[in-house]
Structure 1
Amino acid sequence: MTETAGASSEPAEDISLTRKKRTAGIMLALLVVLMACVFSTLDNAVTLRHASGTDIGQWPRLLLAFSGLAAGFVFDIRKRKYMGLIMYCVMMMSVLSIVVLNLGAPFLIGLVVFYLSSGFFVVFFTAGFMELSRHMRLPSLWAGMGRAMNNVSAALIASGSVALLSTGNSLAAIVIALVLFVAVSVAMAVYTARMNAVMEPKEPPASQKSDEERREAFIAKYGLTEREWDVFSQMISSDSSAQEIADCLFLSKRTVERHISALYEKTGAKSRITMYLLYRND
């Protein structure tokens, strides 16, 4: 009865994990879309100022390069544990820039924030989808989705964003920026929770044997001697030749070959791979 319950609980756990992966993917895609809306709006605000005659030169490109490098280092702190939180703070700074620009703040603020935040955004969606792809059924599809989502989103909202900024309706731009920020906050919270669940290491089943228990059981099952076990462990853990195994165990090559013949005979295996599978599936 217990075995049946355990067997039926495994598929349920797999289904639950699959749902968490799917939710994490959807939330990450939604995050990229929402953030692309904010950054595209900030980009258009900078572009419109530039088109009106404000000369910005080439130095902002250095900010973009610096922010990309900085994001790579900062996001990797504690194995990307704080990547979502850091990106959320960058997002908050970008939204505040849109607000203060529409309230008449100096153009330079928006320029600096845009180029600094853009590098973080690119690294965020690239690293986020690359990490997620490792847990998905079609990793090659998910790995490149960040760039695709960003480009499509930016293309779709570009004209609307420019039209809104061109009207000079600062209140509408501020309200939309704040609504996007709230949406990002919700999506980020859900994505972080689901991604943590996906990456959470699974606890091994209670019935799983330890390495020592597996070793003792295998030796007893096939009647191996301690020296035969030493040779066996070398065979399944490397592709070393008989001579190399002999050198490692301080035996003669002929002795090792004799042990190998005995191992094949006792286990009934025809190759090292078969031996390895016998041991792992025992």
Structure 2
Amino acid sequence: MLFFFTFLACEYLFDVRMAEFVSPNEVVIYESLVIGASVIGFFVRPILYYRRPHAIDATSDVTGVLLVAALLLLIMAVQVEVVITGGLVACCALGYCGSTAHANFARRFARTPCLARAAALSVDALEYGAKWHDDPEAKAAFRRAVVRLTVATAYLSSVFAALNAGFTTLHAVGAVDLGDWPRLLLVVSSLVAGALFDLHGRSYMNIGMTCAAILSTLSFFVLIVDGNGGNELAATIIFYLGLGFFVVFFTTKYAAVSLYARWSYFWPCMGRVVNNVCSMFVTAPAVAIISSQNVLAAVGAALVMFVGIAITLLGQLGQRADDAAMRDGLPLATDDLGGDLAPTCSDPEPVEAAELTSDERLDAFVATFGLTERERDILEVLVVSDQSVQDIATTLFLSRSTLYRHISSINKKAGTASRVALINFFWSWTPKD
């Protein structure tokens, strides 16, 4: 949530400065382009994570400097070109930071029953499976679930992008002020959404999001039918209440998807990526409809959105079967995200047997899976340390590549697929008498 509000603040600053140079309709168009550019930042961090991990620290430092410089450009610029440049750089840098924020959120909360509430506060408890099962049915269920979620997010993004275009235009002409109390509405709606979405294992999440989207679309008709009237306040309240539900929805859904995906560092931020890309393409048509006050076009667009949302969120009768097959057949793939085990909302039951100390468990594990003495030393550090791989290698006086080879050997013997999978398996493993 902190990242989301930072992004909104940057967007608000960009709108205010652009309104000094261009017309209200142009402010909306430029805003959509700048927001779309943030997708670059969302992808850069995961690519570095997988392809150039040694460059992440330096790139993060550079990104921080660029973000500060871009914000200064936005504040001090006296030419429209400089404002646009500052907005592009700032959004790209925020996208880079946002990728990390979403990945860290998924790492810590995606496996907990309070995922939606965690999404609301930071804007199904699943059984761990140690091995990757080549189950075609489960993988097909996973693909169907991801496609359905992406299409649903695209439709919902289109609805809220159209609404945002209208309210940004009103803000640019001074009809409403989006910089103060609407943000408080967003906080309230996010907290409410988090509590409601987590009910009954998130089984009513799609229905709740559909209702929120339908209600939010009513504010679009207010803008079209009564664009010069006095109902902007009511429309703004409806819009921001629905927006809070949407942010929690896509953050929660994609964090859960990341548990099963291979390149899991990409997935937690994909909701934001889909939203920003759709906003870039939907804004111009939405501005045209609002400016023309064309009720027929607005009704047609709304019907298309309603049908798409209903099909993707409510119309899939096999959704439970798909989700069950995916949960039963696919293991968690949080290995790419690394880090600590996810906390739970309530006090968890201890996994480790009470009669075993850590050393006893380690000795039993080594004996059972036939680890070498060197592999034992490495495993001992892995299961108790939250350091990065590079720091662990330094502690053990090994090169990074040598450490990876040892970890790969341990994974092969234990039947796990990654460092985090190995740690999870170690603490959930029960020695046999």
Both proteins in one fold, TM over 0.5: yes
Could you tell me which residue of structure 2 aligns to residue 62 of structure 1?
Answer: 184
Query: Any idea what SS the aligned residue of 1:139 has?
Result: coil
Could you tell me which residue of structure 2 aligns to residue 239 of structure 1?
Answer: 358
Contact 1:102 1:170 in 2 (8 A): yes
Match status 1:37 vs 2:158: yes
Contact 2:150 2:274 in 1 (8 A): yes
Could you tell me which residue of structure 1 aligns to residue 397 of structure 2?
Answer: none
Query: Any idea what SS the aligned residue of 1:78 has?
Result: helix
The alignment covers a number of residue pairs equal to 214
Could you tell me which residue of structure 2 aligns to residue 186 of structure 1?
Answer: 311
Deviations 1:198-239 (A, max 9, x none): 246649xxxxxxxxxxxxxxxxxxxxxxxxxxxxx888x542
Contact 1:126 1:144 in 2 (8 A): yes
Query: Any idea what SS the aligned residue of 1:56 has?
Result: coil
Could you tell me which residue of structure 1 aligns to residue 419 of structure 2?
Answer: none
Looking at structure 1, the residues matched to 241 and 305 of structure 2 have their Cα atoms a distance apart, in angstroms, of 20
Q: Give the partner amino acid of 1:177.
A: A
In the alignment, structure 1 segments of 5+ residues that lack a partner are: 1-9, 204-232, 246-269
1:78 to 200, 207, 210: 200
Q: 1:194 to 1:107 in 2, by over 3 A?
A: same
Query: Any idea what SS the aligned residue of 2:265 has?
Result: helix
Q: 1:175 to 1:62 in 2, by over 3 A?
A: same
Q: Which of the pair is proportionally richer in helix?
A: 1
Q: Give the partner amino acid of 1:273.
A: F
Deviations 1:135-178 (A, max 9, x none): 22222222221111111111122122112211221210121011
Q: 1:15 to 1:56 in 2, by over 3 A?
A: same
Query: Any idea what SS the aligned residue of 2:358 has?
Result: coil
2:263 to 132, 138, 143: 138
Looking at structure 2, the residues matched to 84 and 186 of structure 1 have their Cα atoms a distance apart, in angstroms, of 11
Looking at structure 2, the residues matched to 83 and 240 of structure 1 have their Cα atoms a distance apart, in angstroms, of 44
TM-score when normalising by structure 2? 0.44
TM-score when normalising by structure 1? 0.66
Could you tell me which residue of structure 2 aligns to residue 151 of structure 1?
Answer: 276
1:91 to 213, 228, 238: 213
Aligned-residue offset at 1:37: 0.7
Could you tell me which residue of structure 2 aligns to residue 124 of structure 1?
Answer: 249
In the alignment, structure 2 segments of 5+ residues that lack a partner are: 1-132, 330-352, 371-429
Q: 1:46 to 1:175 in 2, by over 3 A?
A: same
Could you tell me which residue of structure 2 aligns to residue 49 of structure 1?
Answer: 170
Q: 1:31 to 1:169 in 2, by over 3 A?
A: same
Contact 2:207 2:314 in 1 (8 A): no
1:19 to 121, 140, 145: 140
Contact 1:41 1:162 in 2 (8 A): yes
Aligned-residue offset at 1:55: 3.4
Could you tell me which residue of structure 2 aligns to residue 160 of structure 1?
Answer: 285
Could you tell me which residue of structure 1 aligns to residue 46 of structure 2?
Answer: none
Could you tell me which residue of structure 2 aligns to residue 28 of structure 1?
Answer: 149
Aligned-residue offset at 1:280: 7.3
Looking at structure 1, the residues matched to 364 and 207 of structure 2 have their Cα atoms a distance apart, in angstroms, of 48
Could you tell me which residue of structure 1 aligns to residue 127 of structure 2?
Answer: none
Aligned-residue offset at 1:92: 1.2
Contact 2:225 2:293 in 1 (8 A): no
Cα RMSD for the two superposed structures: 3.1
Q: 1:15 to 1:118 in 2, by over 3 A?
A: same
Identity of aligned residues (%): 31
Aligned-residue offset at 1:99: 3.0
Q: Give the partner amino acid of 1:68.
A: S
Contact 2:364 2:431 in 1 (8 A): no
Aligned-residue offset at 1:30: 1.0
Looking at structure 2, the residues matched to 49 and 91 of structure 1 have their Cα atoms a distance apart, in angstroms, of 21
Contact 1:95 1:178 in 2 (8 A): no
Looking at structure 2, the residues matched to 238 and 78 of structure 1 have their Cα atoms a distance apart, in angstroms, of 37
Looking at structure 1, the residues matched to 176 and 261 of structure 2 have their Cα atoms a distance apart, in angstroms, of 46
Indicate the structure (1 or 2) with the bigger Cα radius of gyration.
1
1:109 to 205, 229, 234: 234
Q: 1:78 to 1:20 in 2, by over 3 A?
A: same
Moved more, 185-194 or 167-176: 185-194
Looking at structure 2, the residues matched to 65 and 196 of structure 1 have their Cα atoms a distance apart, in angstroms, of 34
Query: Any idea what SS the aligned residue of 2:199 has?
Result: coil
Could you tell me which residue of structure 2 aligns to residue 211 of structure 1?
Answer: none
Contact 1:64 1:118 in 2 (8 A): yes
Contact 2:159 2:305 in 1 (8 A): yes
2:298 to 164, 170, 173: 173
Q: Give the partner amino acid of 1:30.
A: V
